[in-house]
Amino acid sequence: MMKILIVDDNNKNLYFLESLLKGSGYEVETAVNGQQALEKLNSTAFDLIISDILMPVMDGFELCRRVKTDEHLKDIPFVFYTATYTDKKDKELALSLGASKFIIKPQEPEVFLKIIADILKETEKGTLKPRQALLDDERKIFKLYNERLIKKLEKKMLDLEKEKKARQKIEKEAKLLAHAVKSISESICITDMQGKIIFVNESFLNTYGYSKDEVIGQPITLFYSGNNAKELFEEIFVQTKKGGWKGELFQKKKDGTEFPVLLSTSLIRNEKNKEFAMIFVSSDISELRELEEQFRQTQKMEAIGRLAGGIAHDFNNLLTVINGYSELMLMRLKKDDPIYQQLNQISLAGRRAESLTRQLLAFSRKQVLQPVVLDIKRIIEDMNKMLHRLISENIELHTILEPNLCHIKADPSQIEQVVLNLVINARDAMPMGGKITIEAKNIVFKQSFYWEDLEIRSGKYLMLSISDTGTGMDAETKKRIFEPFFTTKKEGKGTGLGLATVYGIVKQSGGFVNVYSEKGIGSTFKLYFPCVKEPAEPVKSKTVSSESLTGTETILVAEDEDNLRNLVCEILRSHGYNVLEAANGGSALLKCEKYKKPIHLILSDVVMPEMSGAELVERLLPIHPEMKVMYMSGYTDDAVIRHGILEEKVQFLQKPFSPNSLLEKVRSILDNKQ
């Protein structure tokens, strides 16, 4: 069995080489420096020497020189295995001293073993004779040796300097890490492997409400909430010891408050890769959960709004036909006719249905508004008498209006509707009497923020609040108050559309609503509208034209709903107008191209198949430039806005409309009154 001497001052290197060589069938002895190696060489026969270079007491170069100048030892093959002497001159010196091989660390075990095996095999066969020292002049040897030693010392100094800088960097990073752990917003808690707390940061103490002395040494279960499943804590510990756990759960503060957190856990290992502690990093996600709930509520309201708007649009077409024909028939019948009363009930029901669809459109924010610059103070003062008549004698009504209220831009009739609905709701919430307060004042938001999906920009706003001292609402009721058809009133006492209408009108006017309510104390609705700098416009009262509603002009009616188109055409024809009718844009174009006389007015639906109303008008005006334009639609959705219908000065008739309102609008446009 071949015997090898390994010389290295690094215990890890010795252990590795010894294990590697013994595992390959060699007998191995070790030495930690050249002096110790010489002592072993003088007492024991070896077949190969493997030596590092840089060692205390006696380095590898000196060991090799002494071996190769000793008559008893010079024939032993000498191999250098080094990581510090790696340049070309180091190898030249080593070979000049008599080394057989110069191997640079690290080498793959298989490669290293093959080199050693080849050397021993060739030596045994006599094909590789051990190298002898090539340098006889000791002064030359020492000169070369000193040069290499100085180079290595210089390199060692540089390495030490780098190590010093690296250590300083590590210390700096450790200080930064300590500062980060102390100031980080997440709560950090470190426990031993049994779950006893050994460290917490400042955020943890601030979040959970404890002092440091109150938590160090306590079990982590101190903060567990009863809202979690019992199995969850066991699962957290099991998964943490396997590597880590992440999830959401409830935690408990010192005062007993329970709150949701996002918790992440992991193991801490020492330099020997043995786990000795667990780290728990938690974030309070209460605000996030509130935002998510608000977002879900917004999505819910948007979905209900789209449904309500779609229903209202379809109903408006139907109601225009029902109410229109009812009114035409009533005008043709005498009041003592037996059918008159029955038909009148149909008409009344139709008007009630029309009112409901208008409220649905208000909620879904798809109604046509006619905004003007308003003085809210004047509107409240004008409504004062009417509001007093609405409430009972055991209810007090107070108004608190700031002297210099800013102006807002909104539809005056819609704002009146909002105030009316809220006052009626407040009245109904106080069956035993109480107090209603209407307050208006200017406020300033210094920063922009989001309310539902609407960005509320910073700036000046008018706040209109209506408060009552009534029954109030619980949290679950408050979540649903703006949903259409949701009501807490007794059957027959309310449609559930009042607050839905308020919600839609305020939001479509660019504002937002905040509700404050406590069961048994009362409710406050705060409406916020952006202020404008323009002066307020006088609110014009609606007057019915006294002029004749008949005419002889030619009107083109473009409407894809057959029943509605037939009704409109019949109303216009019965009042003397010459009517051209078309079920779509293509049909309208053909009729206009063939019709050589003037067309005084086009009355077109906004959204039709194949071609929209705006596209139709754009193509017709070059053919009939004298033609005036009026649009009609069941509601104003995004498509209508994209088609440019809602620009200022564009004439628009919202469905459902009565025969009289249609005739008034047509006559006003033809007479250039609008």
Instruction: Please state the length of the chain.
Output: 674
The string of pLDDT tens digits covering residues 555-581 is 999 988 888 888 899 889 888 899 999
Q: What is the pLDDT of residue 40?
A: 92
The string of pLDDT tens digits covering residues 398-423 is 999 998 899 998 888 778 878 888 88
Among the candidates 229, 252, 284, a domain finishes at 284
* Segment among 439-443, 494-498, 516-520, 538-542 with least mean pLDDT: 494-498
Query: Is the pLDDT score of 175 beyond 80?
Result: no
Mark whether 402 and 515 lie in a shared domain.
Answer: yes
DSSP symbols for 227-260: TS-HHHHHHHHHHHHHTEEEEEEEEE-TTS-EEE
Q: Are 470 and 426 in contact (CB under 8 A)?
A: yes
Mark whether 54 and 119 lie in a shared domain.
Answer: yes
Tokens 């008159």 locate to 340
Domain with 503, as residue range(s), is 372-532
Closest CA to 353 of 383, 315, 380: 315
DSSP symbols for 332-363: HS-TTSHHHHHHHHHHHHHHHHHHHHHHHHHH
The string of pLDDT tens digits covering residues 226-268 is 777 777 877 888 888 888 888 888 888 888 888 888 888 988 8
- Sequence-separated (6 or more) residues with CB below 8 Å from residue 20: 109, 112, 113
The arithmetic mean of pLDDT across residues 51-58, rounded, is 87
Q: Are 606 and 634 in contact (CB under 8 A)?
A: no
Among the candidates 284, 319, 340, a domain finishes at 284
Mark whether 214 and 279 lie in a shared domain.
Answer: yes
Q: What is the pLDDT of residue 494?
A: 46
Q: What is the pLDDT of residue 416?
A: 83
The string of pLDDT tens digits covering residues 635-648 is 554 444 444 454 54
Between the CA of residue 241 and those of 191, 236, 274, what are the distances in Å?
A: 12, 9, 11
Q: What is the pLDDT of residue 544?
A: 44
Mark whether 395 and 510 lie in a shared domain.
Answer: yes
CA distance 161 to 144: 26
Is the residue at 337 inside a domain? no
**Sign of the Cα pseudo-torsion (87, 90, 91, 92, in order):** positive
**Sign of the Cα pseudo-torsion (611, 614, 617, 618, in order):** negative
Is the residue at 10 inside a domain? yes
Is the residue at 177 inside a domain? no
Mean pLDDT estimate for the chain: 80
Q: What is the pLDDT of residue 439?
A: 93
Is the residue at 20 inside a domain? yes
CATH classification of the domain holding 106: 3.40.50.2300
Mark whether 515 and 569 lie in a shared domain.
Answer: no
164 pLDDT band, cuts 50/70/90, is confident
Q: What is the pLDDT of residue 641?
A: 44
Between the CA of residue 663 and those of 347, 503, 670, what are the distances in Å?
A: 19, 33, 11
Mark whether 496 and 376 lie in a shared domain.
Answer: yes
The arithmetic mean of pLDDT across residues 52-56, rounded, is 86
Q: Where are the beta strands (DSSP E) in 270-347?
A: 275-284
CATH classification of the domain holding 446: 3.30.565.10
Q: Which 8-state DSSP code applies to residue 622?
A: T
Closest CA to 104 of 95, 91, 117, 113: 91
Q: Are 96 and 128 in contact (CB under 8 A)?
A: no
300 pLDDT band, cuts 50/70/90, is low
Q: What is the pLDDT of residue 492?
A: 43
Q: How many Cα neighbours within 13 Å face the side chain of 442? A: 13
Q: How many structural domains comprise the chain?
A: 4
Mark whether 395 and 493 lie in a shared domain.
Answer: yes
State the Rg of the chain over Cα: 47
Among the candidates 284, 306, 335, a domain finishes at 284
Q: What is the pLDDT of residue 577?
A: 92
Report the b/e string of 244-280 with b at 16+ CB within 10 A: ebeeebebbeeeeeebbbebbbbbeeeeeeeeeebbb
